[in-house]
Amino acid sequence: MRSKHKKYSGYGDLSHTPNNPNSCTRSSLRSPGQSVGMEQKWIIFWSLLHIATLVCFVLGIYYTKEYMLMPDRVIICDQAGNLYRGKSCNVLCQATAEDIARKSAMAFLTRNGEHSNQQALEALFGRSAQKSLRILIGNSQEEFKEQSIRQIPVIETIEIAGTPEKDQCLAFVRGTLHRNGIYMKMPYYQKLEFTLGLRLMRSGSLSEYPLRVLKMVYDEKSIYDNKKGENQ
């Protein structure tokens, strides 16, 4: 009989037997190239993870800084119960001046035969400016009543300029006026260009608007008028 001999290598028995937990197959062994490739993959993975963490950290610092520099959003309620939404910032800023200039122009130029914006005009315009208002409104009040004129302004641009006085600024409001009325029992339509110059001054009372109109100048020019069959 031939004797059966087992082959051994210097690394031990490589044959797989169910009862030998230390046994393994040749297919489960990694070559040096595979080991190096696996190590490179792990190095790339951890490197990318560190880069992503660093990017998130930098973005977190940037957006935290931007959030801290943002003005607070506030809601203001006046004595009449009107709510105004805005941001906490310096009173004499462009946004505040534009808002007051827009409100002043709309209160002044939105007119009909009765001109029912007296309360808003008194809140927005100072005493000196109110005198100019009474003159301008009084010069055309009779015409507005007799011809049932209804006037609607459309604001196109608002420009804000500084002044040597720290508590004042200038505002120039430009736009178009649309008028509808009845003349000799016939309806008519007029279109005019207007320019309203305002000197705004910081208000001294917390119960008033932050800025009020100190002085004003006004000019208008006819663009279209079918009242007399004119198209200028």
Residues 102-125 pLDDT 10s: 999 999 999 987 776 888 888 899
Which token pair is 33?
A: 């190239």
Q: Which domain holds residue 61?
A: 31-68
Q: Which residue has the higher pLDDT, 133 or 79?
A: 133
Classify residue 36: in a domain, yes or no: yes
By CB neighbour count within 10 A (0-12 exposed, 13-18 middle, 19+ buried), where does 101 fall?
buried
Classify residue 164: in a domain, yes or no: yes
Looking at the structure, tell me whether residues 136 and 210 fall in a common domain.
yes
Which pLDDT does position 156 carry in this prediction?
Answer: 96
What does the radius of gyration of the chain's CA atoms come to, in whole angstroms?
Answer: 40
Looking at the structure, tell me whether residues 122 and 184 fall in a common domain.
yes
Looking at the structure, tell me whether residues 118 and 219 fall in a common domain.
yes
The number of distinct structural domains making up the chain is 2
How far is residue 79's CA from residue 21's CA, in Å, rounded to a whole number? 88
How far is residue 109's CA from residue 4's CA, in Å, rounded to a whole number? 116
pLDDT at residue 194 tops 90: yes
Looking at the structure, tell me whether residues 50 and 130 fall in a common domain.
no
- The strand pairing partners of 81, in sequence order, are none
- Could you tell me the CATH number of the domain that includes residue 104? 3.10.450.230
Average pLDDT of the segment spanning 69-85: 64
Classify residue 80: in a domain, yes or no: no
Inter-residue contact 209 to 203 (CB < 8 Å):
yes
How far is residue 189's CA from residue 180's CA, in Å, rounded to a whole number? 5
CA distances from 222 to 13, 72, 115, 143, 205 (A): 109, 44, 21, 16, 39
CA distances from 134 to 60, 94, 140, 155, 180 (A): 57, 28, 10, 22, 22
Name the H helices within the chain.
32-69, 94-109, 118-124, 127-146
Proportion of the chain in helix, strand, coil states, percent, rounded to 5? 35, 35, 30
Looking at the structure, tell me whether residues 58 and 105 fall in a common domain.
no
- The strand pairing partners of 217, in sequence order, are 197
Which pLDDT does position 226 carry in this prediction?
Answer: 84
Which pLDDT does position 20 carry in this prediction?
Answer: 53
Which token pair is 89?
A: 């910032």
Inter-residue contact 103 to 120 (CB < 8 Å):
yes
CA distances from 144 to 150, 152, 164, 175, 185 (A): 8, 13, 39, 20, 14
How far is residue 169's CA from residue 97's CA, in Å, rounded to a whole number? 8
Looking at the structure, tell me whether residues 64 and 121 fall in a common domain.
no
Classify residue 98: in a domain, yes or no: yes
Looking at the structure, tell me whether residues 39 and 121 fall in a common domain.
no
Classify residue 131: in a domain, yes or no: yes
The reply to whether the predicted model has a pTM over 0.85 is no
Average pLDDT of the segment spanning 64-79: 71
